[in-house]
Structure 1
Amino acid sequence: MKHLLLALLLLPRLLLAQTGTLRGTVRDEQRRPVPFASVVLPAARLGATADAEGIFEIAGVPAGPARLVASAVGYTTATQPVTVAAGAVLEINFMLAPAPAALTDVVVTGVSRATEVRRSPVPIATLGRREISLNANTNVIDAAVRGIPGLSAVTTGPNVSKPFIRGLGYNRVLTLYNGLRQEGQQWGDEHGVEVDGYDIERVEVVKGPASLLYGSDAVAGVVNLLPALPSGPEGQLQGDALAEYQSNNGLAGNSLGLNYQKNGFQTSFRASHRLARDYRNAVDGLVYNTGFQELTLTGMAGVSKPWGSSHWYLTLYDNRQEIPDGSRDSLSRRFTRQVLESGPDDIKNRPLVRDEELNSYAIAPLHQRIRHYRVFTKTQVRLGGGELHLLLGAQQNQREEFNHPTAPAQPGLALRLSTFTYDVRYHLPTWHGLETSVGSNGMGQLNRHQNATDFPIPNYNLLDAGGFLLLKKPFGKLEVSGGLRYDTRLVTWSDFYVAPDPATGFDGAGGPGTVGATLQFPAFRQRYQGVSASLGASFVATERLTLRANLARGYRAPNIPEIGSNGLDPGAHIVYLGNRSFQPEFSWQQDVGLLWHQTELDASVELFHNYVQNFIYQARLLNANSQPVVIVPGNTTYQFQQAAARLYGLEASLNWRPAALPWLAWNSSAAFVNGENAEPTVPEHLAEAARYLPLIPPLRARTELRATLPARAGRLTGTYFRASVDGSAPQNRFYALDNTETATAGYALLGLGAGTTFTSRAGRSVAQLIVQVDNVLDTAYQAHLNRLKYFEYYASSPTGHLGIYNPGRNVGVKVLVPF
């Protein structure tokens, strides 16, 4: 008993002795302090904010090796490996350069353990909060597209952007929120990502199927949206308030964030609200029904102790999003609105939209409402010399699309998707340099129609599970990694009947005995399975030059619309028809990269080739006379097809900061992808029209020149000026069969920006001001992946313009006040 009492008394001291303290300074190349820099240990989820003199301290750091990352607005991100001794204080000093350089960034997405970008054979790109904040964006995916070559987005208005990686999207791109897979009906064209963009600290993108951590739905890659870690001195409540305005659509955004940490306890909270009216361009004027209202609440609580860490997250997202249909008056080209149901409605004879409606922030009766609730926990435990990682999550997505003008409270589409996710990984202790990770992840889903009148997909149940083994071993300058993964997915649904509902006058879900009932979705049960594999290496040829290559086999099970759809999606204005006999997709992708890194210059070139078997895509349905089939008037009809596909291309970047002009930085990037139908299933005379795949972005390049004024004594710091040009080449390689797509003209957009940080006399940051002007010349253009380009009901126009154009000039002002 005496020994037990002694052990209990000493236990707190023993636990405390298993941790150490990191202390140091953050300075620039002139040895001047970098005030309020962020210093974090990503793997341990610990961090601190330096004071006005650039001094930081992080207590309670678990003993052992780790990577420490320092960052600040206007400077590079710097990384240092550290080994923390139990009970010791380790002094670490950072020196930050005033130019962006991403090749030394540490990433956690797509790799078993925290890894530098340039040492990963898997192509990975990152974007930090600094770059996200400097732009005027309406959603976080658009922000990532600006800064990451190879990432693009299919858009439906300014607030609906679906990520595409190297020409592949929808369920081929897995979107994560802090490691939890985002499940919110991502098969739909007008379904965006339900995440608060103000809350995102960092975006990490894995390109291609080489990461074996995720399985099906990551065959094109992964987009991981990472929220900020709590930072600041222990025992002090920290936070920030943000206000934003954008002139083009009158967007008003506000966000309040709070965080606190003490003795290993961490908590944070953020509330954000955005609203916008219809956007404007030089061709269409104000584009009817493109406004939105969005509210997001995010909370986190957790602990970080010597044994590991555990954090709980809760998010609530509510978005009312207008979706245009593009109907107009044929002569004036003014927008019109629907007032009758689809039967008696005459699309070409609707009433004009009034000016007060175009300028109103009120949400129109025809819109969609998306509510997304997410709760999950992430736990890391040091166990047996290794680390056990566990993620458990539950989320529910409720989507309603209101498309009945005579009954505005009656949703056409009403779906409730419930998803339960698990992810467990164990990183074994390193043995002779060999790093081994094993794990399993998967999900269960239930998708149910609620009070709906349109049923594009059936009620379904889905069970998904997979297991993986990852290995990594350094051999001097050469580092080799690879692994295997097996996935299985079971999809089932019962007979689903649709029948007239006398109470509403519309169709509704019915039973086999209901009067007038038709069997819209016969029962279905199918199991899909596949093996994925990856083998790659990175070679540090010199201190400046790194070479890497990777070969990967990816797998994706068909999604529900591809195998089961049979009805109208009212928000997309498309009738989808699936194919129950589809087989899984399998891809073989090869990646080769060359990365150059030095103080003045960062450069990279990435080449890829991807061959996809059983590639699934949409094509318009034609009748025997080669005319488009119309099942629901005013809506196009698409049927999914399956063939082989080939995609290849490259991404390149160049970041230069001349030594003679340390205040100047020039950053450029370019991305190209070509997608071809490798196995056309159409008659020979139509083969050329079907040669290319749909939704392939054109050659895109971006260049930016940024000048940051040298730090001087005064109330302004970090003052910068920037000019950028975003250019897209003409896209003449498009899916031309049945006029599904048309050629898109090239364009170049000029952007100008400036910003500064106001400081107090004590040197503390008081407020940050950012001004950004996009499309300065108010250029009229249509992006090839803009779905509104095809929202047109006439074969010709008196103005010579068809479809809806992208937003015109936009002036964005953003104020961030830390406290």
Structure 2
Amino acid sequence: MKIILLLLLLPQLLLAQTGTLSGTVRDDQRRPVPFASVAVPAAGLGATADAQGLFQIADVPAGTVRLVASAVGYKPTTRNETLAAGQALAVQLTLATAAAELTEVVVTGVSRATEIRRSPVPIAAMNRREINLNANTNVIDAAVRGIPGLSAVTTGPNVSKPFIRGLGYNRVLTMYNGLRQEGQQWGDEHGVEVDGYDIERVEVVKGPASLLYGSDAVAGVVNLLPALPNGPEGQLGGEALAEYQSNNGLLGNSLGLNYQKNGFQTSFRASHRLARDYSNSVDGRVYNTGFRELTLTGMAGVRKAWGSSHWYLTLYDNQQEIPDGSRDSLSRRFTRQVFESGLDDIKNRPLATNQELRSYGIGPLHQRIRHYRAFTKTQVQLGGGELHLLLGVQQNNREEFNHPTAPAQPGLALRLTTYTYDLRYHLPTWNGLEISIGSNGMGQLNRHQNATDFPIPDYNLLDAGGFLLLKKPVGKVEISGGVRYDTRLVTWNDFYVAPNPATGFEAAAGPATIDAALQFPAFRRRYQGVSASLGASYAATEQLTLRANLARGYRAPNIPEIGSNGLDPGAHIVYLGNRSFQPEFSWQQDVGMLWHQRTFDASVEVFHNFVQNFIYQARLLDAAGQPVVIVPGNTTYQFQQAAARLYGIEGSLNLRPAAMPWLAWNTSLALVNGQNAEASLRERQGAAGRYLPLIPPLRGRSEVRATLPARPGRLSATYLRASVDASARQGRFYALDNTETATPGYALLGLGAGTTYANRAGRPVAQVFLQVDNVFDTAYQAHLNRLKYFEYYQAAPNGRSGIYNPGRNMSVKVVVPF
């Protein structure tokens, strides 16, 4: 408490030394790059160059400073400078026209700012420009396109759950600007509650080496970083964005504003997206896949010589349709539910009309997710080091309306409130040794509201952990590692359910209520575990870097895995938990080789991950070996636990011919194999249970991009691009009880173009991005698309089972900076 008071009330007593950085951003032909972005990521500072490429950043902490400069049509560049207290240092930054990503500065999952190629921990990053180049319906899908090893389990076009190297859900920690995202992430049928138009950068840590965050980061971390105010001092700046996509008629609009003066910084963004049902060549329009999304984001803060403090407030409101896949058996046209489950004949429903399929209106059977965040981030220069404090509260309200005869009555209604703290101190560097210590944790309260379905109990959760991180350069070798201890307490009381005579549905009830049934017996258990990491990178030459890392990860079971006992209506699955589960522990080894030079980049990463007590879902069978049906029309799964093994390889190759500096060819490849490592279980299950569920197939992406040389005129940063996204056949799948099936391979061609239009003074007026995905309208099903299994017939007249991914999509995006 004393530390918090010191931060908020007495910053003027803290001593710090700062200076000013200024200079010019030029291209490789020595011409100014107008309106380039220049940032000091470690300090959270930034500026936008003027029409002559001139910039200035004030109040930069003295010492070694790493600058990052970027602009549309150029590759980001980094540069180290030594800034003395009170010094005004002038620098020149040069941007080349091609894109290379291996030297970007990142701060996620490591103790301090570091370069990707010098980090023993595998890290990848994607900037705003790359996000804008593609047509996406959410920020996770955008990141999947550009980061090998990252995939997503999807349920329609706006529902994507990040998976890293075959592991997802609560094994991947998603963060918004350093605040862990807590929003019922165990569920399949809703995505990440973040405004994709507001994200400036995506950083991904692969593997259980992110010791800063503890449990739920056993597979890695995805950090979604919004932009900082970077306009000229004392001037209101920002951008207006408009987007249209043809496949689902998506209409996207966003307005961002920012202002800074004399250390005061503020920003605001409002975004709205609206989409109807998507289409493909097999299914036509897929009923109930539209959505309507509104997000508001505000920030106010101050940056002075003593440090900085920023306050954030966000609102996310999404109405999301979720398909159930019911159809007419002969025509294969989609049908809609009109009766409750007891009277509903899923194979004899009325057809969805063309008007319903083309309407932007949200159907009566949908879900609504509202997510609110309020948090503060404070950084103080203290005792020669840096003290960081994050305090946050967020609330996730999730409602699923699944009663056709009572459309205003939610079936599922959960309110999750989470309180988060993160306190860390970066000690002064001593003989090159960097030491960071800290603690973080959270408290959670999950409560059912006016609901009729109760898949999980009302629970309380307390989570806390402490860590020690070290980094030390020894010649050409950089060694880093650390250790962390975590503890988690999970409790809930007896939870009863009884029929509600007023509504005809079940409701939460007291133990004395007539016909009350005990759905969730009381539970109390403490989980604990130790995580550790040790790795090193070796700069063998200026071009070649070798690295290796060994990490032990820990994850406590999540609430559905230990407490489920009911229907999740959006997933159409009855989940059953296991109260005796033990925590998961993983051992992952990473070995990598990275080559970087002006015309050629290449990287190869090999990993192996052994997971003890791996938790997975399996269909529940009766004594006769038949699937158990508790709720008609819904499958029943029970969580299981066994040892698992995952291993794979990731590679990239980026070429920029010296004779053609305007041309770039980038290729990436990722393969992961997940297997059941429990010998006794494999003997019982045979070949059908050999592989783990939800393992992505071999996936590759190749892109050729031509950026026209800069010339006098109104157009600049003009590019043409062609890409191929290919997935091999997935024949290694969890086949037990027909949980998964083989997935054919496919290749999708994409074409794109764009340019920046400037006024007579050379100031950008508009950036235009054009993109066509799936040019040949290929019919395909991604292996991690859950809609692939939304099928109610043994056979179909057209031989096609389940729902297919979107077909051809043409998009246009216009960004107007001001």
Q: TM-score range by the shorter chain?
A: over 0.9
Q: What is the CA–CA distance in structure 2 between the aligned matches of 1:768 and 1:77, rounded to whole Å?
A: 18
Q: 1:13 and 1:333, CA in 2 relative to 1: closer, same or farther beyond 3 A?
A: closer
Contact 2:795 2:801 in 1 (8 A): yes
Contact 2:12 2:306 in 1 (8 A): no
Amino acid across the alignment from 2:294: L
> Is the CA contact 2:608–2:648 (under 8 Å) kept in the aligned structure 1?
yes
* Equivalence for 2:741: 742
Whether the 8 Å CA contact 1:44–1:304 is kept in 2: the answer is no
The residue identity in structure 1 corresponding to 2:262 is N
- In structure 1, what is the Cα distance between the partners aligned to 2:538 and 2:15? 40
For residues 734-773 of structure 1, the aligned pairs below 5 Å read 734-773=733-772
Q: Does 1:280 align with 2:279?
A: yes
Q: Determine the C-alpha separation between the residues in 2 that align with 1:752 and 1:448.
A: 47
Map 1:240-251 onto structure 2 (within 5 A).
Answer: 240-251=239-250
- Offset, 1:92: 1.1
Normalised by the length of structure 1, the TM-score is 0.98
**Alpha-carbon separation, structure 1, partners of 2:299 and 2:81:** 27
> Hey, what's the Cα distance between the residues in 1 that align with 2:150 and 2:511?
47
Question: What does the per-residue CA deviation read over 1:135-154, in whole Å, with 9 as the maximum and x for residues that have no partner?
Answer: 00000000000000000000
Q: Is the 8 A contact 1:137 1:143 kept in 2?
A: yes
Aligned partners of 1:466 and 1:191: how far apart in 2? Answer: 28
Per mean C-alpha deviation after superposition, the further-off stretch among 41-50 and 799-808 is: 41-50
Whole-angstrom distance in 2 between the partners of 1:171 and 1:797: 36
Amino acid at match of 1:690: G
Query: 1:376 aligns to what?
Result: 375
Change (3 A) 1:312 1:729: same
Is it true that 1:606 corresponds to 2:605 in the alignment? yes
- Does the 8 Å contact 1:680/1:687 carry over to 2? no
Q: Indicate the residue corresponding to 2:804 in structure 1.
A: 805
2:625 aligns with 626
User: Equivalent residue for 2:123?
Assistant: 124
Match of 1:296 in 2: 295
Residue 332 of structure 1 aligns to a residue whose secondary structure is coil
Structure 2 residue aligned with 1:3:
none
Q: Distance in 1 between matches of 2:439 and 2:230?
A: 32
Matches within 5 A, 1:480-629: 480-629=479-628
Q: Partner amino acid for 2:156? A: G
Partner of 1:145, secondary structure, is: helix
SS state of the match for residue 378, structure 2? Answer: strand
Q: How far does residue 686 in structure 1 lie from its aligned partner after superposition?
A: 2.8
Quote the RMSD (CA, aligned, Å): 1.3
Deviation at 1:13, TM superposition (A): 13
Deviates more, 1:390-399 or 1:78-87: 78-87
Q: Deviations over 1:743-766 (max 9, x none)?
A: 000000000000000000110000
Give the aligned partner of residue 340 of structure 2.
341
Which whole-Å CA distance do the structure 2 matches of 1:92 and 1:229 have between them? Answer: 22
Q: After the TM superposition, which residues 682-697 of structure 1 pair with which residues of structure 2 at under 5 Å, given as runs?
A: 682=681, 684=683, 686-697=685-696
User: Partners of 2:785 and 2:499 in 1: how far apart?
Assistant: 36
| Number of corresponding residues | 809
How far apart, CA to CA, are the structure 2 residues paired with 1:548 and 1:712?
Answer: 42
1:213 — aligned with what? 212
Q: After the TM superposition, which residues 13-412 of structure 1 pair with which residues of structure 2 at under 5 Å, given as runs? A: 18-412=17-411
Whole-angstrom CA distance in 1 between matches of 2:12 and 2:313: 33
Q: Which runs of 5+ in 2 are unaligned?
A: 1-9
User: Equivalents in 2 of 1:16, 1:541: separation in Å?
Assistant: 40
How far has the Cα of 1:15 moved from its partner? Answer: 9.9
Distance in structure 2 (CA, Å) of the matches to 1:17 and 1:84: 13
Once the two structures are TM-superposed, the CA of residue 83 in structure 1 deviates from its matched residue by 2.0
Q: Shift of the alpha carbon at 1:685?
A: 5.8
Change (3 A) 1:618 1:13: closer
Tell me how far 1:681 sits from its aligned partner: 4.9
Shift of residue 86, structure 1, vs aligned partner:
2.2
**Whole-angstrom distance in 2 between the partners of 1:369 and 1:688:** 41
Paired residues of 2:14 and 2:382 also in contact (CA < 8 A) = no
Task: Give the corresponding residue for 1:662.
Answer: 661
1:62 and 1:305 in contact (8 A); partners too: no
CA separation in 2, counterparts of 1:410 and 1:347? Answer: 21
Q: Is the 8 A contact 1:643 1:680 kept in 2?
A: no
Q: Deviations over 1:72-119 (max 9, x none)?
A: 111111111122222221111111111111110000101111101111
In the alignment, which residue of structure 2 is the partner of 1:717? 716
- Using the TM superposition, give the Cα deviation of residue 434 of structure 1 relative to its aligned residue in structure 2, in angstroms: 0.8
Q: Cα distance, 1:14 vs. partner?
A: 12
* 1:443 corresponding residue in structure 2: 442
SS of corresponding position for 1:33: coil
Equivalent residue for 1:4?
none
Aligned partner of 2:5 in structure 1 is none
**Following superposition of structure 1 onto structure 2, how do residues 470-481 of structure 1 map, counting pairs within 5 Å?**
470-481=469-480
Where 2:347 maps in the other structure, the secondary structure is: helix
Secondary structure of the corresponding residue to residue 689 of structure 1: helix
Secondary structure of 2:131's match? helix
User: Distance between the aligned counterparts of 1:480 and 1:78, measured in 2?
Assistant: 25
Is 2:676–2:682's contact at 8 Å kept on the other side of the alignment?
no
For 1:686 and 1:488, locate their aligned partners in 2 and report how far apart those are by CA, in whole Å. 34
Instruction: Report the CA distance shift for 1:104/1:210 in structure 2 as closer, same or farther (over 3 A).
Output: same
Partners of 1:261 and 1:33 in 2: how far apart? Answer: 24
Distance 2:13 2:151 in 1: 51
* Distance (whole Å) between structure 1 residues aligned to residue 190 and residue 566 of structure 2: 17
Deviations 1:204-258 (A, max 9, x none): 0000001210100000000000000100110000010000000000000000000
Shift in Å at residue 65 of structure 1? 2.1
Q: Structure 1 CA distance, aligned partners of 2:683 and 2:675?
A: 16
Q: 1:725 to 1:683 in 2, by over 3 A?
A: closer
Cα distance between partner residues in 2 of 1:578 and 1:605:
39
Contact 1:496 1:522 in 2 (8 A): yes
Cα deviations across residues 587-636 of structure 1 (Å, max 9, x unaligned)?
A: 00000000000001111000000000000000111111111111000101
The CA distance in 1 between the partners of 2:297 and 2:401, in whole Å, is 27
Q: Which amino acid aligns with 1:587?
A: S
Q: After superposition, give the CA deviation of every residue in 1:427-482 in whole Å (9 maximum; x if it has no partner).
A: 11111111111000000000000000000000000000000000111101001111
Distance 1:239 1:466 in 2: 39
The question of whether the paired residues in 1 share the 8 Å contact of 2:15 and 2:306 is answered with: no
Q: Distance in 1 between matches of 2:237 and 2:478?
A: 41
SS at match of 2:356: helix
Distance across 1 between alignment mates of 2:684 and 2:437: 51
State the distance in 1 between where 2:679 and 2:782 align: 27
Deviation of the 1:699 alpha carbon: 0.2
TM-score calculated relative to the size of structure 2: 0.98
Change (3 A) 1:560 1:665: same
The one-letter code sitting in structure 2 at the alignment partner of 1:699 is L
Q: CA deviation at 1:263?
A: 0.9
CA pair 737-18 structure 1, distance change in 2 beyond 3 A: same
Greater shift, 92-101 or 128-137, is seen at 92-101
- Measured at CA, do residues 13 and 25 of structure 1 come closer, stay the same or move farther in structure 2, by a change above 3 Å? farther
Alpha-carbon distance in 2 for matches of 1:450, 1:367:
17
For residues 112 and 506 of structure 1, do their structure 2 counterparts lie closer, same or farther at Cα, with a shift above 3 Å needed? Answer: same
Instruction: Classify the secondary structure of the residue corresponding to 2:132.
Output: helix
Letter in 2 for 1:55: L
Partner Cα distance (2:266, 2:747) in 1: 44
Q: Distance in 2 between matches of 1:107 and 1:530?
A: 27
Instruction: Return the alpha-carbon distance in structure 1 between the equivalents of residues 219 and 339 of structure 2.
Output: 42
SS in 1 for 2:689: coil
1:664-690 alpha-carbon deviations (Å, 9 max, x no partner) = 000000000000000055473632100
Task: For 1:12 and 1:394, locate their aligned partners in 2 and report how far apart those are by CA, in whole Å.
Answer: 24
Deviations 1:147-188 (A, max 9, x none): 000000000000000000000000000000000000000000
Deviations 1:505-533 (A, max 9, x none): 10000011001100000000000000011
Larger mean CA deviation between 54-63 and 640-649 belongs to 54-63
